[in-house]
Amino acid sequence: MPRRPRIKLAEVPQHIVQRGINREPCFFAEEDYHCYLHWLQKSAGDWHGAIHAYVLMTNHVHLLVTSTKPEGIAKMMQSIGRRYVQYINRSYRRTGSLWEGRFKSSLVQAEEYLLTCMRYIELNPVRANMVNDPAQYRWSSYRHNGLGQTDERITPHSLYLALGKEEADRLAGYRGLFRSELDDAAISDIRLALAQGQPLGSERFSEMICAAVGVRRAQRKPGRPMVKRDTSERVEDQRDFVLNWINEMKKLNVMLTPLIERGMKVKLYKTLLTYASALFAAALTLVPSIGYGDWLSSTTEQYESKGKKMKYLVLTREVIIKDESGLLPVPHVITRADDGGFIIAGSLGRAWVIKTDAAGNVLWRNLQDKPLSSGGYATAFTGAVAMQDGSTYLCGNMLLPPGGYTPSLLMHLDAEGRLLDERLYLPQKRTEHGLSYFDSCTRWGSNLFITGHIFQFSSVKGLGKNDEHYYWLIMLDAAGKIKWEKQIPTNFDTVDRTNSILMESNSSLVFAGYRASKSELFRISETGEVIATKYLDGFFAFVRPAVPDDVLQVYGLNQSDKAFESITLDDRLEEIHRVQGGREFDFGGRFAYRMPDQSLVLFGAEHHALNKSAVAHVDSKLQSVQKIELIHDAHFYDNGFIDAVSSTGKVGEFMAARKLLKHVPGNEASAEARVGMALDFIQIK
């Protein structure tokens, strides 16, 4: 069915709504709201948009905007969406869309509905039971429009200015509009106009608008339209309340979400809460064969089952680590400690790290749920290095502290996970506006080597076409002091992330920068000198040796031939040998290891079914494949790629970490839909 054409007119206010995909949150931390508002102001300025009112809810956004250009609002929303989604995906190491299709919009007849629409927008948090008064909600325009607090994003409409000659009179008049609730008729009219993409106003206004732009007006049934409760925005408002309540209580998120998404009425919440504990306890009995524990401890059992033991692959053990916060823990890195245990770190809205023993039992954790001494929060740990003294270095990132460059973070923990030191790093101590990211870190002899990337804004207004992008390399001594720092220009228009692999035989290191489906490789010396470079048309991951050697090999999907390949390179990054898999070979490996017989162990997902985490063992010619999917009938988890992998120190044995998402639709017995992380122990025979 073709989409209804969007009505575009200059100089007419538009009410805009954009929702998170599957009604899921699109703001995860305080910094996310600041970032969205920053790009809202920037994009509105670029596309001649005047913002009259806004509210940022947990999983959607309302805006009231007038543009002097017919295409201005569409371009503005496109600009915001592109920048904010890129920011969220990079910050939380996610992929894919954040928004649910196109934004919805309706033109507003200013004389009849503009002030009503402003009230509707700014009262959203009140209707969602998040606050009792709109002034209590930080992420809306009410504090500017009703209290006079400075908000440079807002351009007052002439009808707002007409509320009083003096500012005090206008503020008092505007607050007076909020003394009574919006009537149901006005709310229904606003929601119906948004749902149908039609003008909001009188019959004559609607007919004139539709005639002016040459679109057919939507046919409405006689009388006031009835809005179904399970699809109305009233239930959407209640969903915001539920999501906010879940974050505060840190309980029951995984039980409420599937029921809410199926349209559960709000009056059933109380009944659900009464029986929630009993239902959850009963659900746990469904998976008696796996280990299950919270962040502080982990009770594990060996797990084997039919279908998980193949000719070359065995899933020997699985540990489930439950997250009580209700948020999704995303593991970004695993590194093996000298005592045989593992350091696993990632993001959960805030950065986190855990230490496990060799069997996956949690020994300690560190969740960055409090501000750093320097201010702001650590939002993600992207690299971890286990030192010989049992301490751990973690590299990570922060999000938009007040003003200036966004710094990156290096944190040092002792053998028990207690903080020893934290340091913030800026690219060569720059203070201009920009973004900097630490992507990975590795131990290089007694030193610490970090790779990252930099966005240098061309102006204080934010991202633009003249921005500069660099790779960021830092060598630190064991005390965290910088020995040298390099910035290398990239050939890409932006950088998604970087990674590195140490070549011990010639005291050099190779790092890679990635942009979508393209790769750049650089070999550097211990002093940071660039020895060689290589461009590859595709995303190619380093193949790490199960037994240390001096062979540099990468694996990935060649975009030109649309075939998976392994490529061996020499010291100058020149190609020595290339192997291309057959057309039937279809496995997307994010992590790859080379066995002594030159066969490869790939961790990722089947390329045609990216929501199924899997491991593959393939011969050196990429022909014979043995695969094992890590999703199991008893779990009912719907998960995606494997997120992090490490060798256990024994040849052919690995531990993989993956986030656990929703239950698989159709398996209603799994309605508790646990959220957490799985540690899978894989053996290659």
Mean local confidence (pLDDT), 201-205: 76
Select from 468, 451, 472 the least CA-distant residue to 459: 468
Per residue in 371-395, pLDDT tens?
A: 777 666 787 899 999 988 889 999 9
Tens of pLDDT along 600-650?
Answer: 999 887 654 445 678 888 888 888 778 787 754 344 344 557 889 999 999
* Cβ neighbours around 121 below 10 Å, total: 24
Q: Which of 5-9, 274-278, 544-548, 623-627 has the lowest mean pLDDT?
A: 274-278
CB atoms within 10 A of CB 601: 26
CB 395 within 8 A of CB 382: yes
Res. 567: pLDDT tops 80: yes
When pLDDT is cut at 50, 70 and 90, the band that residue 207 belongs to is low
For residue range 423-473, what is the model confidence (pLDDT) as tens digits?
888 887 565 556 788 989 998 888 899 999 887 765 544 444 556 788 999
Determine how many CB atoms are found less than 10 A away from the CB of residue 47.
21
Q: pTM of the entire structure?
A: 0.59
Beta strands in 248-377 (DSSP E): 291-293, 313-322, 330-336, 342-347, 351-356, 362-367
Kindly report the average pLDDT of the chain as a whole number.
Answer: 76
Backbone angles phi, psi at 223, to 5 degrees: 85, 180
**How confident is the model at residue 237, as a pLDDT?**
44
Tokens of residue 316, six digits:
């020997």
How far is residue 390's CA from residue 395's CA, in Å, rounded to a whole number?
17
At residue 581, the pLDDT reads: 81
Residue with tokens 């390179």: 569
Q: How confident is the model at residue 584 (pLDDT cuts 50, 70, 90)?
A: low
Q: What helix, strand, coil percent values describe the chain, rounded to 5?
A: 25, 35, 40
Phi and psi of 43, rounded to 5°?
A: -70, -35
CATH superfamily of this structure's domain 14-249: Transposase IS200-like (3.30.70.1290)
Q: Kindly state the percentage of the chain with pLDDT values over 90.
A: 24
Residue-wise pLDDT tens digits, 478-527: 888 899 999 998 887 667 778 888 765 557 899 998 876 789 999 999 88
- Where is pLDDT greater, at 256 or 535? 535
Instruction: Tell me the domain boundaries of the chain.
Output: 14-249
656, two tokens: 């993989």
